[in-house]
Structure 1
Amino acid sequence: MAQAHITVTVDLPQDAGSEPIDALARRLRLLWALDEVRQGRMTRARAAQVVGIGIDAFLQEAAAHGVDAIDYDLEDFREEVGASS
């Protein structure tokens, strides 16, 4: 079953359209997904799926935009490592 989508209309300045519309739409979708990940509202795997790229490619894009591959609180990590010892 295909997932339902929404369409969002964005007004941009005329000179913002130097790239093809479909490329601009992909870039905006990527930036939205990166922000969702950064805010903790979406997993990296789901974001890669939404953007339509593999997880490795998404993690490379994320790194290029300053989004860490792993978002793990240091104290949680210490507790988990301690619990497994």
Structure 2
Amino acid sequence: MYHSSIQLDVFPTDVQMRRIDPARNMRRFYRLSVQRDLFGRASLVREWGRIGFQGQMMVETHPDEGKAITALMKLAAVKKRRGYVDLQRSLI
């Protein structure tokens, strides 16, 4: 029997969102990704700014990947309430 060591991704580890409102001259992006650092901890990397320009970045360290993904999902929910949409959905 074949045993695969590949785990299916149930929770997102990378989210890309944008908010465009021409009436307010607003064109923003927001990216969230969970990555491992050199010490084995999980880091939540947040990037945001105006589309077409270099944005800002902030890195939060978490003791494990589960807590980093939980933080990612909470931040994504907050951004969706503020009008951001997932980039994958907006392109379809």
- Name whichever structure is richer in helix by fraction: 1
TM-score by length of 2: 0.28
Larger Rg: 1
- Name whichever structure is richer in strand by fraction: 2
TM-score by length of 1: 0.30
Higher relative contact order (CA 8 A, sep 6+): 2
